[in-house]
Amino acid sequence: MEVPTQSTDLQAQCSLWKSEVEQVRGSLRQMRGRLEEMAAGRHTNHERMVEIEHFQNQFIRQLEVADEMFHDLKQSAKTFANGRPAIVHLDRPVDDYDTLHDRMQVFHKLHDELKGEFNRFESYR
């Protein structure tokens, strides 16, 4: 993996990642809207409602993770600009490019898996 070395490159990478997080947030909102339509349907049995609640919980949690990620990326951009962290999270370092890169990969992987699972569920209407 090629690590940007200039603070402007690191800031640009953080901006790109923030944009990606915003896209995931939009995707989650769209899926949540479709889920609400399913829940309002007249032919929703108990088993289907259990699945709907599962996805509702997954969307809530993934939006929380997106909020944390977005916040940490903002802090990282400040860190890379100033040379020191504005806020340090022991469980989620914001001043380490490799850690942020890994977190973004996991973030995308989890979103892609949830999206695929939801699309399969949705297709069984």
Of the two residues 101 and 89, the one the predictor is more confident about is 101
| pLDDT score for 6 | 52
Nearest C-alpha neighbor of 114 from the set 16, 14, 30: 30
Q: Residues with Cβ < 8 Å from 47, sequence gap 6 or more?
A: none
Instruction: Give the three-state DSSP class for 48.
Output: helix
* pTM confidence score: 0.81
Nearest C-alpha neighbor of 39 from the set 19, 23, 55: 55
| pLDDT score for 7 | 57
The span from the CA of 108 to the CA of 125, in Å, is: 26
Structure-block tokens of residue 84? 């020191």
